[in-house]
Every structure is written in structure tokens, then in C-alpha cells.
Amino acid sequence: MMNNPKVVPAVAYQGGKTRLASQIADIVGSLDGKPFLDLCCGGGSISLEMMNRGVSPSDITMVDKGPWGMFWERIGTGAFNMDSFEFYVGLIPSDPNYIKSFMEELSRQDPNIDTEEVFLILQAGAFGGKAIGIRDGEWANTSFRSFWQPTETSSRRSPVNPMMPMPSTLLKRVHSIAKLAFGVTGIHGDVEDVDWPANAVVYIDPPYEGTTAYSHGLSSSKWWGNHPPACRVFMSEGKPFGSNTTLLSSGRTKGGISGARNTPNQEWISCMEDE
């Protein structure tokens, strides 16, 4: 019997953990029936990986203060408006040369209108994968990719699409997520306000220190040791915290988080269990 294909996050963006999700889930290990908290969950790479491995959505709580938190709230309760999302996807020009201008126009729409559906599309088109957010009643970080095709003198020989992924793939991914993650507890709110069950396994992926901040931010240092003593807590960062740490990636120069760094991005995961 063939295994079902893995469900992956809807879109890629700076700070997403799709590429590292399997490694991180291996380190987190078995939950042994304990609840799993995914704080600053973003696109949900780690929670989706846990669900792909058989963890019930009902055992997972996903928290994010940005638009991702709104998305997961709706997905978990089955309230995400798939018809509305399909409508917006259907508006995306078939000619990739016109997608950037479509994104720019869509980003001027009131973010209170069809927030979750519009957000996913804007994030898929974000230039450099920077995290789209909402600030002062407007969509923030709204710069978008152009369609690029190689010339005779270009070193790159393949086109660069204006969306990652393109519309049909985006739609398929969201359908798969809605099916897999129904029943998850999604919370759109401040992770600092979430109570941690004493037996929880917790994964935290706050904005890395010294990198481009999201429209809502936290300090990684604040989380170190700030948890109930019975919890097993893992935190991703661009540097190690404490002694129980694992370097997941070193020397990555593309696809990481931009910011005030003169060296390639590193990815560490630190475990607070034994501290």
C-alpha cells in the first residue's frame, strides 16, 4: 500500500520551516499522548509534519498573532471559506506578466475583507518571501515578484514565477490542509497569553534576533526558561541556547531570513527539557 503524500504548508516565506520540518519533528520525538503547542506557528510546517506522522489535530494547538493565526482558527473549526478562496484564486491573471500588478491592486483592499483568503494569495506573491502582515489597518510588506524569463546572456536558464506556488498548486495545498488539519485548535493571539498544560510538548519559532522582524515581534531570549517545569520545550533560533542544542543547517545563503547578518544563516534547535 502506498502512503498518502505529505501535506505541506500553503506557501513559502522567510522564516518558514518546511525544509527543516522533518528534522525538527525527529528531534521533538514521540508525544506519547501529550498535547503539542506550536507557538509562533506561521504556516504550520511543524504541526503539519506531526499530523502527517499520525498525531491527531485535536492534540495540537497552533498560535500566531499574525494572519496565520486567523487562518488556523478557521481551518481548525472548518470555517475557512474555501468558496471565497477559490473565487480570489480565479481572479489571478493567467498571464504571469500581469500577476504582480494584480497583487499590488489586491494589497490595497481593506485587510478586514476576506482576510485569510487574501492573505494567502499576497503571501504567495511576496517579493523575497517576506512575511505579509497587517499594520495600521493596511497590508504590510507589500512588495511583489515580477515574472522573469532568461535572456541569451542569463546564467539562470529557467523562468522565475511571480508566485510561489502558482495558483493551481496553492489551491490544491489549501484543500489538503483543510482536510488534514480539521480539528486543530488555532488561536489568533499573543503567544504570551496562552496557558501551557504542565505535560505539554512545546515548539517555539519566534523571530530570530538580528533579522527582519514580522509585523508582530518577540525576543527569543525572553522564552528561554520561561515555561512550566514539567514541559518539554524546543526553540528554533539562529544561534544555540543552553547546552542541549542541535545545528540543523549551516552555511545557507539563500532562502533564510534577511537582516543585519554578515554570515550565512544558521538554524539551531535548542531543547529546554534538561536546563
Question: What CATH number is attached to the domain comprising 248?
Answer: 3.40.50.150
How far apart are alpha carbons 226 and 224 in whole angstroms? 6
Q: How confident is the model at residue 97 (pLDDT cuts 50, 70, 90)?
A: very high
CB-CB contact of 258 with 230 (8 Å): no
Taking residues 11-15, report their average pLDDT.
88
Q: What is the pLDDT of residues 46-57, one digit of tens each?
A: 999 999 999 999
| Same domain membership, residue 193 and residue 65 | yes
| Same domain membership, residue 190 and residue 66 | yes
| Same domain membership, residue 109 and residue 66 | no
| Same domain membership, residue 262 and residue 212 | yes
Taking residues 90-97, report their average pLDDT.
97
How far apart are alpha carbons 96 and 105 in whole angstroms? 15
Percent of the chain residues topping a pLDDT of 90: 65
Taking residues 136-147, report their average pLDDT.
95
Taking residues 252-272, report their average pLDDT.
61
- Specify if 3 maps to a domain: no
pLDDT at residue 114 is higher than 60: yes
Phi, psi of 248 (to 5 degrees): -90, -35
Strand partners, 221: none
Taking residues 117-130, report their average pLDDT.
96
How far apart are alpha carbons 178 and 103 in whole angstroms? 24
| Same domain membership, residue 124 and residue 191 | no
| Same domain membership, residue 242 and residue 121 | no
**Domain span at 129:** 82-147+156-179
Q: What is the pLDDT of residue 201?
A: 94
| Same domain membership, residue 167 and residue 137 | yes
Taking residues 124-140, report their average pLDDT.
95
In the block, cell 547546552 appears at 243
- Specify if 11 maps to a domain: no
Other beta carbons less than 10 A from residue 103's beta carbon: 23
Q: What is the pLDDT of residue 116?
A: 97
| Same domain membership, residue 219 and residue 165 | no
What is the rounded average pLDDT for all residues in the chain? 87
- Specify if 132 maps to a domain: yes
Give yes or no for a cis peptide into 57 (omega within 30° of 0): no
- Specify if 165 maps to a domain: yes
| Same domain membership, residue 141 and residue 215 | no
| Same domain membership, residue 112 and residue 74 | no
Q: How many domains does the chain have?
A: 2
| Same domain membership, residue 138 and residue 221 | no
| Same domain membership, residue 226 and residue 196 | yes
* Packing angle, helices 115-125 and 67-77, rounded to 10: 130
- Specify if 12 maps to a domain: no
pTM score, whole prediction: 0.87
Taking residues 136-143, report their average pLDDT.
95
- Specify if 129 maps to a domain: yes
Q: What is the pLDDT of residue 118?
A: 98
pLDDT at residue 251 is higher than 60: no
- Specify if 206 maps to a domain: yes
Most confident of 33-42, 149-158, 229-238: 33-42
- Specify if 9 maps to a domain: no
Q: How confident is the model at residue 157 (pLDDT cuts 50, 70, 90)?
A: confident
Q: How confident is the model at residue 155 (pLDDT cuts 50, 70, 90)?
A: confident
Q: What is the pLDDT of residue 242?
A: 78
Taking residues 172-196, report their average pLDDT.
95
CB-CB contact of 134 with 66 (8 Å): yes
